[in-house]
Structure 1
Amino acid sequence: MDAWRACVGTGRMDLALRHDYQESLALIQREIGFRHIRGHGLFSDGMGIYRPYSFLDDEHVRHSFTYLDQVVDTYLELDVRPFLELGFMPDQLASGPETVFWWKGNITPPRSWSAWADLVRATVTHLVDRYGLAEVRQWPIEVWNEPNLPQFWLNADADAYHRLYETTAKTIKEVDAELQVGGPAISPGTDKYLETFADFVIDNDVPIDFVSRHAYTSGPAFHVPFGTHQTLAPASRLLEQFALPRKQLAGTPLADLPVHITEFNSSYRPDNPIHDTAFHAAYLAPVIATGGDLADSFSYWTFSDMFEEEGVPTALFHGGFGLLTHRQIKKPTFHLYAFMARMGGPELSRGPDHLISADSTGRVTVLAWAPVDCTDLRNSPETHHLRLSFPVSGPSAFVLRSRVGEEHGNVWAAWREMGSPRSPLPRQLDWLREAAEPAREHGRLPVTDGRAHLDLTLGRHEVTLLEITPVADETPSWWNDSHLLGGPS
């Protein structure tokens, strides 16, 4: 039920050295609690690992782990483990100058395959020495990012990627045979790539412990200054992408491998305002609720707007991927995840607009969401009605409802009503944090023959969490509400 919690994405790894990043991740871990975290740039120059030098006319390499240790220490202190992505190429090991992103991640193969293997070996060996073999065996290690796209791997050369994967996987297994290695971390759009990769791995007996891919539903980009607008396919297309690796690998020796969706979101752009909206939480709710049927993990891209692939953001709300903005302001999709984190116990029932679970204490939790129109937000229904029934012990139950939607917890709307301040004043940040919180309602629900029946109405783009607990009534026999302002006993 909690494959949604297995991993979350992050901006490039060296951002974890920042204090505000650490504050944001601490908030995420307190209220949601992911098990792994994955981001780009482990071997990019910002992490400073690959350090060639000359001495006495000889060429040498020092592998420096100063920043890596600080990043991993931070993760482990916050109870989240790395999901290591090996990339991009250090500039002084790269075979060419081609880069991606504002921070210039080099996308070319190594000019020395033996030096690349030495870099991988030294890094993995260091992590094992520092954190222990039992710990590092729990960290999946993914080889590169989206090599099927020329933006991320020079000319999207499959043969060159196969060599990179084989060299890397065999090197990792030399350190320890039980370390987890996998790939190819492909982007949607060239779906036969996984089949070709699988053929290569099988035919050449190359180690592989999991397969990975990414999932997005956005169409062509229409650019505006400091932003992007795109069409969206229905969220069910994400689930189709989650399911694709197992379909493609059925009947092969890789059929039973774990499947990790190491990035997913609606838009693949870090400057698309759809990420900030109430619509976005309702759009993704059925994916979060059911994606675990199709993949062992699916990693939301990303936990925070501290993400600079297109440069430093120019406004607090800028369409970033994050569950949180800068300054730790919670978006509606944050609350979708936080609501899921508050659910517990085995699933009781599931429908196209709800998920119900119960834990060992008798607490029942209901996550419900309104349907959306992904072609025009204005066409989403203004209200959505559900009638639910579920087992509850005792004569009555206490209900706490937490809700976000167009009218509640919609901080992006509050920011726009405020005039879209690019750098809000401290008091404006306080207002935004308050506006970002869900609305809370409570009440008593009767129980008949061991079941409670609930009529629920959701507003446009609403996601709601109901927490229902049996009432053990300890009200004194002499209590009478009518006497609050005095009167006869």
Structure 2
Amino acid sequence: MGQSDKRQEDFWFTLLRREEERALWHPELELIFVLKGTGRVCLMQNGPVYRINEGDIFAVNSFQILELELDGDAYALSLSISLHYLTSISPELLSHKVNCRSFLYPKDRQGLYDVLRRNLARAFQAQYKYEMRQSLSLKNRIAALLENLVQYFREEEEPQPEGGSWERLKPAIDYIQNNYRDPITLEDLSEHTFLSRTCISHSFRRYLGVSCMEYLARVRICHAVRMMYGRETLTEIAYNSGFPNVNAMIKAFKQYRGMTPGEYRKQAAQPQTALQPAAEEPDEMNHVFSSLMNYALEDPEVKQPKETVRELMIDLEGRKPRITQHWKRIMNAGYARELLDGARQQEIILLQKQIGFEYIRVKGILDDDMCLLRTDMNGNRVKNFTYVDEAIDFIVSAGAKPMVELSSMPRLLARSVSIPSMRAGVFSYPESLEAWRDLIQSLLEHLAERHGRERVRQWLFAPWLIPDYVDFGVCTAGEYEEIYAVTYETIKSVCGNFLVCGPGTTDCRKYLPQFLAMCRRRDCMPDIITFRSFAAVNPEEEEDGLNLIAGNESFPMAVSRDEDILFHLSREVHRILDQAGAGELPLVLEEWSSTIWQRDLCNDTCYKSAYLFKNVLENNDQFSGMGYFSLNDRLDEIPPVPQMFCGGFGLFTKNSVKKSAYRAMELLAQMGDRLLEKGSGYFISQRNEEIQIFLYNYCHYDLLYRYRHTVNMTQTNRYHVFQPKEAEAFFIQLSHPVPGKYRIKRYAITRQGGSSYDAWLRMGAPETLTREETAFLEAGSYPEYRTDCVEVQGEEPVLNIRASVKPLEVMLIKIQRE
């Protein structure tokens, strides 16, 4: 084999050396294997420059710009496959990009790349064994390689530009290649190629992804790089490579290499060893090829799942926007009576210590089990604030502010029991509005006297039920308007600065415009607009929906197909507020969860941590506050069950074992106060000198489970109801960190750590737990953890972070300079 063998035009191998000139792009698909030594590669427009080492393998798409630099005595083997051959064998690779870069992965995640290395080795072996003809074995090996690329490395979302008329670029490319030392403008290219400037600009952008002038700069850099190994001065190199001056070359190197020419020359100054591979004797394998040919002897199994590669470049310099953790504003603690329970109190104390919420929201403050309104032996109504005080005092002692819903009706005041409930609460319109007004005024005056108006004015009060109950027959629309306005006026009469929030509806499109119009008419606009979302949808609203498997445990609602329902709802609510002239009011999501079904067994699994990561990190800035629902599985809204992992809403099981959702909040609470970057699947923040990288791989329910068809769902088998998704491999390059040693800590919630449910499965899924087993379960629910230390050096320092996140997993990576 010589440097290149193109006698067969369908595909050919090329031995790459440092000193040989190479085109920045070409129409063929190319696969490159580093046989020996090290180098650098850049595959993206203004993208990162990666270090490559012996054994690395990567693909270069058709028309993709590649800047490859091999160090010293490094060698690489290139396999080029023509467009014609791709069309006949794997046409998918003409319409979709290949994302194949082994250098993004650690050694323990090279399974798919080993398969590729093996087939490349065997194709090369078939080539040099039958050098004078295209053997059937060689064609089979090339076909196997293309199948590997399609199966494991094809991207679904980024189509390739079609080939068609790319030949029109060739005259311009040739002119640049032959005249790069001279000043070249778009007008020069147009004059010498007889193409319009518009055509040239469009073609460069379409086929190469860069402008004409950017391509010229890259050509000059490639020539400058080859001169760095000689004795020319930087001024001479700049002149001989076509740059107008040294400063222009320095600027280009910083933009495309991430370092100055002087820094690059220092890196390139290393001893070189002459090596002449025995290319003319292909049957006597030279040791240059041994790193590849060792794979021809292996037959590895594919153990590594397919992964989607995500590349992020984050510049640490400059001022970053501030983050306010709105998601930590509110925690729903359930019903007020539960705050008198010692176990619930210990959960809240722990929650406040490890996470810290501003408000603790309670329902049922007026329920009969709070003994607020009773009759004495003579039939006289008596108000008793003892239990109310115990509940409110505990919230304050835990370092939070109460958010109180004045919703259900004491039975003594109820007109009728419209909706039967397992709890002590009654959903009813009052028999007498005056009696209701008197109760609310007495309660508010008591709280103001006990805690002081200045403190209580920071609390939040929600007048009565949400307007949705009109459709449930609790009252008429007119009655709802009347009781809301009366309650609002009563709260404000005690103190005009007390904060009122509402309406708390679950259907903003239907009820919010009516509510806002009513508030304008009655002069009772709340200080804060609230609503709720349980990702629910009426089955009739989805055209391809199934028959819902309904029960008596929740409202007959399916889970929406919209993974981003919170984001879309926030936009919709903001639009409604703007149209009503209320856009300046704070918007609070007072209750939210992934489902309205309290027996959704996925609530106990790793799914819930991925759901929380996704929705907190993607929607935190959409609201002035978010209130996750809820603290504990024990809500007593539906009959209890004996199972500990029963699919309840809570962060804790009914016996206070932390679930994966709690562990996710522990990690989220470590969010910094400055935002570096965010996007789907990642959120990067900073606090002082510590950087926090949050990664997640959320998977949505499949169609059957969204409609509660629990096919193959059991107490011990809960992970087969999700849409299929690939693992996410993140390569994160942090530029301009302060040089020095950095401690990197990784916390992950997976089925192996961070999920008490999965720890329970590993324990053997006992039906009842002893105290010892509960302690083991608590210990097994801690997230996975590992730490390492890296050192950042150089005048243009870079810190690279690699991480892989499987479906339904989340990860927090903390980076701190030691």
Q: TM-score, normalised by structure 1?
A: 0.89
1:229/1:273 contact within 8 Å kept: no
CA 1:451–1:439 in 2, change beyond 3 Å: closer, same or farther? same
| Aligned residue in 1 for 2:754 | 409
Give 1:102 shift: 1.4
Aligned pairs for 1:63-78 within 5 A = 63-78=383-398
Report the 3-state secondary structure (helix = DSSP H, G, I; strand = E; otherwise coil) of the residue aligned with 1:117.
Answer: helix
Greater Cα shift, 88-97 or 404-413: 404-413
| Aligned residue in 2 for 1:384 | 728
Give 1:345 shift: 2.0
Give 1:295 shift: 1.3
Aligned pairs for 1:89-488 within 5 A = 89-149=409-469, 154-155=473-474, 157-188=476-507, 191-218=509-536, 222=549, 231-360=559-688, 362-375=689-702, 377=721, 379-390=723-734, 392-448=737-793, 449-471=796-818
Quote the Cα distance in structure 1 between the aligned partners of 2:692 and 2:560.
30
Greater Cα shift, 450-459 or 256-265: 450-459
Report the 3-state secondary structure (helix = DSSP H, G, I; strand = E; otherwise coil) of the residue aligned with 1:388.
Answer: strand
Bigger Rg, structure 1 or 2: 2
1:403/1:462 contact within 8 Å kept: yes
Greater Cα shift, 230-239 or 334-343: 230-239
| Aligned residue in 2 for 1:477 | none
State the structure with bigger RCO (CA 8 A, min sep 6), 1 or 2: 1
Quote the Cα distance in structure 2 between the aligned partners of 1:229 and 1:405.
29
Report the 3-state secondary structure (helix = DSSP H, G, I; strand = E; otherwise coil) of the residue aligned with 1:269.
Answer: coil
Give 1:379 shift: 4.0
1:274/1:319 contact within 8 Å kept: yes
Quote the Cα distance in structure 2 between the aligned partners of 1:317 and 1:96.
36
Give 1:36 shift: 0.7
Greater Cα shift, 28-37 or 229-238: 229-238
Paired AA for residue 175 in structure 1? V
Quote the Cα distance in structure 2 between the aligned partners of 1:417 and 1:222.
31
Structure 1: gaps spanning 5 or more residues: 472-489
2:419/2:427 contact within 8 Å kept: yes
Greater Cα shift, 282-291 or 41-50: 282-291
Paired AA for residue 589 in structure 2? I
| Aligned residue in 2 for 1:61 | 381
Quote the Cα distance in structure 2 between the aligned partners of 1:291 and 1:134.
32
Structure 2: gaps spanning 5 or more residues: 1-323, 540-547, 703-719
Paired AA for residue 289 in structure 1? L
1:315/1:421 contact within 8 Å kept: no
Report the 3-state secondary structure (helix = DSSP H, G, I; strand = E; otherwise coil) of the residue aligned with 1:328.
Answer: coil
Report the 3-state secondary structure (helix = DSSP H, G, I; strand = E; otherwise coil) of the residue aligned with 1:154.
Answer: coil
Report the 3-state secondary structure (helix = DSSP H, G, I; strand = E; otherwise coil) of the residue aligned with 1:110.
Answer: coil
1:209/1:257 contact within 8 Å kept: yes
2:739/2:791 contact within 8 Å kept: no
Quote the Cα distance in structure 2 between the aligned partners of 1:201 and 1:124.
22
Paired AA for residue 273 in structure 1? L
Quote the Cα distance in structure 1 between the aligned partners of 2:528 and 2:553.
37
Structure with the higher fraction of residues in helix conformation? 2
Quote the Cα distance in structure 1 between the aligned partners of 2:552 and 2:467.
29
| Aligned residue in 1 for 2:11 | none
Report the 3-state secondary structure (helix = DSSP H, G, I; strand = E; otherwise coil) of the residue aligned with 2:334.
Answer: coil
Quote the Cα distance in structure 2 between the aligned partners of 1:14 and 1:50.
14
Give 1:451 shift: 3.6
Greater Cα shift, 342-351 or 88-97: 342-351
Give 1:416 shift: 3.6
| Aligned residue in 2 for 1:86 | 406
| Aligned residue in 1 for 2:10 | none
Give 1:156 shift: 5.9
2:418/2:474 contact within 8 Å kept: no
Greater Cα shift, 343-352 or 165-174: 343-352
1:11/1:307 contact within 8 Å kept: yes
Quote the Cα distance in structure 2 between the aligned partners of 1:350 and 1:156.
45
Give 1:207 shift: 4.1
Give 1:125 shift: 0.8
| Aligned residue in 1 for 2:239 | none
Provide Cα deviations, 1:413-447, integer angstroms capped at 9, x if missing partner.
23245454443221221221122110111011343
CA 1:143–1:307 in 2, change beyond 3 Å: closer, same or farther? same
1:148/1:156 contact within 8 Å kept: no
CA 1:287–1:145 in 2, change beyond 3 Å: closer, same or farther? farther
Paired AA for residue 731 in structure 2? R
| Aligned residue in 2 for 1:478 | none
Paired AA for residue 381 in structure 1? K
Quote the Cα distance in structure 2 between the aligned partners of 1:10 and 1:160.
29
Quote the Cα distance in structure 2 between the aligned partners of 1:73 and 1:207.
29
CA 1:241–1:149 in 2, change beyond 3 Å: closer, same or farther? farther
1:83/1:141 contact within 8 Å kept: yes
| Aligned residue in 2 for 1:8 | 331
Greater Cα shift, 160-169 or 142-151: 142-151
Give 1:294 shift: 1.7
1:371/1:384 contact within 8 Å kept: no
Quote the Cα distance in structure 2 between the aligned partners of 1:312 and 1:111.
32
2:553/2:638 contact within 8 Å kept: no
1:215/1:263 contact within 8 Å kept: yes
Give 1:146 shift: 3.1
1:232/1:374 contact within 8 Å kept: no
2:413/2:432 contact within 8 Å kept: yes
Give 1:378 shift: 5.1
Structure with the higher fraction of residues in strand conformation? 1
Give 1:382 shift: 5.0
CA 1:134–1:313 in 2, change beyond 3 Å: closer, same or farther? farther
CA 1:61–1:103 in 2, change beyond 3 Å: closer, same or farther? same
Paired AA for residue 384 in structure 1? E
Give 1:229 shift: 11
Quote the Cα distance in structure 1 between the aligned partners of 2:672 and 2:465.
34
Report the 3-state secondary structure (helix = DSSP H, G, I; strand = E; otherwise coil) of the residue aligned with 2:468.
Answer: coil
Quote the Cα distance in structure 2 between the aligned partners of 1:202 and 1:224.
39
| Aligned residue in 2 for 1:486 | none
1:403/1:438 contact within 8 Å kept: yes
Greater Cα shift, 302-311 or 412-421: 412-421
Quote the Cα distance in structure 1 between the aligned partners of 2:721 and 2:738.
40
CA 1:406–1:223 in 2, change beyond 3 Å: closer, same or farther? farther
CA 1:265–1:226 in 2, change beyond 3 Å: closer, same or farther? closer
| Aligned residue in 2 for 1:482 | none
Quote the Cα distance in structure 2 between the aligned partners of 1:367 and 1:13.
34
Quote the Cα distance in structure 1 between the aligned partners of 2:438 and 2:358.
29
Paired AA for residue 727 in structure 2? T
Aligned residues: 465
Give 1:242 shift: 3.0
Give 1:52 shift: 4.0
2:422/2:636 contact within 8 Å kept: yes
